[in-house]
Amino acid sequence: MTELSLPSKVIICEVAPRDGFQAESEWIPTDQKVQIIRNLAATGIQSMEITSFVHPKAIPQLKDAEEVVKRSQDLTGMKFRALVPNLKGAERAMDSGITKLKLMLSATDSHSLSNANSTVKEAQDKLEPIIEAAHKKNVTVGGSISVAFGCPYEGAVPVSRLVDILERYKAMGITEVSLADTTGMANPRQVYDLLGELKVRFPTITFSMHLHNTRGMALANAISALQQGIIHFDSSIAGLGGCPYAPGASGNIATEDLVHSFSEMGIKTNINLDSIIEVAKGVKKTLGHDGGSYMLQAGPNSALHLKPKEQVKMQDNG
């Protein structure tokens, strides 16, 4: 019998301060945002997408991006990155001290037109000046592809389309690309086969997975990716998140669920499971809801129940 071969450790990037908060219609005071970021940092999380430097009118919830970054800068153990939709956003991010930018791009024209008001080609053309500006300031840039595994408007996304986008990213000097299942349309077989193909075609690119749990497949998809040797995963505390441009989309894979699964499998995350569950509980309390979290519903495997006999004894004792 052969044993399943999996990576021994993974790197989880917490995205709730961007992907989660942007989906909240009610204003979250900056103090609360910063407190959640600090609580997350205390669990051992080492990587975080802290905000998006999007136009304040487009997503008012993130209009305090500069202040959030400024007030989190003493968290030196954390690698912060910010999502930037355009050059103006990139300039704002870099001016506020961000040293890693994440670019936005959709896999399909329909999603791109609704999200960025441009076709994919036009949107990718606009990335070049951002990359140039970042290089001048020694700022790292990572790429992303939204709706990479399925588009809510167009359905299946041909592999050739992803290959074209990745070729262009590669030509721009991008070496990290986040593949996003923005509306939870991916399935485990698809993830496994697609990553297998992309890894062979683009051996110099590091892929990360950004999975939404819209249809309950995010965890299975994460394990599929893990089986292809992927070690970079995005997740969101308490399962917060959704794409404001994709109708019906909700819930990133919950960080506490991902940490629990990996820890049960003996894969290191550097994140303390008990602490992250506590933070998830706190976030749920602060915001008044979660975005879907098995840990918040059932607790971890380690939280054993009383045996039936002990329950009877407890009842006897009143």
> Per the structure block, which two tokens stand in for 26?
């009610």
Strand positions, DSSP E, 23-169:
47-52, 79-84, 100-103, 140-145
The residue among 130, 148, 58 whose CA lies nearest residue 92 is: 130
Task: State in angstroms the smallest separation of the CB of 22 from Zn ion.
Answer: 9
Please state the closest distance from residue 48 (CB atom) to Zn ion, in A: 14
Q: Which stretch binds Zn ion (CB under 5 A): 17-25, 77-85, 167-175, 221-229?
A: 17-25
Q: Shortest distance, CB of residue 19 to Zn ion, whole angstroms? A: 4
Contact call for residue 290 and Zn ion (CB under 5 A): no
Q: Which is nearer to Zn ion, 19 or 176 (CB)?
A: 19
What's the half-sphere exposure (Cβ side, CA atoms, 13 Å) at 124? 23
Could you tell me the CA-to-CA distances from 292 to 84, 133, 212 in Å, in that order? Answer: 27, 38, 10
Closest to Zn ion by CB, 19 vs 109, is: 19
Counting DSSP H helices and E strands in the chain, the numbers are 13, 8
Smallest gap, in angstroms, from Cβ of residue 177 to Zn ion?
15
Nearest in space to 81 (alpha carbons), one of 166, 129, 18:
18
Of residues 103 and 273, the one with the C-beta less far from Zn ion: 103
Does 19 bind Zn ion (CB under 5 A)? Our answer is yes
Nearer to Zn ion, 10 or 104 (CB): 104
Binding residues for Zn ion, rule CB under 5 A, total: 1
* Contact stretch for Zn ion (CB under 5 A) within 11-19, 97-105, 112-120, 137-145: 11-19
Instruction: Rank residues 123 and 273 by Cβ distance to Zn ion and give the closer one.
Output: 123
- What distance in Å separates the CA atoms of residue 190 and residue 225, rounded to the nearest whole number? 10
Residue 181 in contact with Zn ion, rule: CB under 5 A: no
Residue nearest to Zn ion (CB): 19
Q: Which residues of 105-114 are buried (b: 16+ CB within 10 A; e: fewer)?
A: bbbbbbbbbe
Residue 313 CB, shortest distance to Zn ion, in Å, is 48
Q: Which of 219, 243, 271, 296 is the catalytic position?
A: 243
Whether 243 sits among the annotated catalytic residues: the reply is yes
Phi-psi region of 208 (alpha: psi -120 to 50; beta: other; left: phi over 0): beta
Choose the stretch contacting Zn ion; rule: CB under 5 A; options: 19-27, 161-169, 224-232, 285-293: 19-27
Strands (DSSP E) along the chain, which ranges?
A: 11-14, 47-52, 79-84, 100-103, 140-145, 176-181, 206-211, 232-235
Q: Which residues bind Zn ion (CB under 5 A)?
A: 19
Q: Active-site residues: which are they?
A: 243
